[in-house]
Amino acid sequence: MTEAPTAGVCEAPGNYHAAAALAALGAQWTAHTGPGRMLLVGCLRQGLALARDFRLDLG
């Protein structure tokens, strides 16, 4: 599995923490170091938060 793309997240002002969280989740996912279910839920929650913040259409 490859790392999740974070291009564009770091470039938006004030989104350093979101980018850092996304990068950390991507690193854990790639390395398989976190508990499976908790890691998956963390990825989904972070993805939904980013979609909300950037008003992305998920439908």
Confidence of residue 3 (pLDDT cuts 50, 70, 90): very low
Please give the structure tokens belonging to residue 36: 């499976």
* pLDDT tens sequence across 13-51: 556 777 787 788 778 778 877 678 888 888 888 888 888
Confidence of residue 2 (pLDDT cuts 50, 70, 90): very low
* pTM of the complete model beyond 0.75: no
CA angle 18, 22, 28 (to 5 degrees): 145
Long-range contacts of 43-49 (CB under 8 A, 24+ apart): 43/4, 46/18, 46/21, 46/22, 49/18
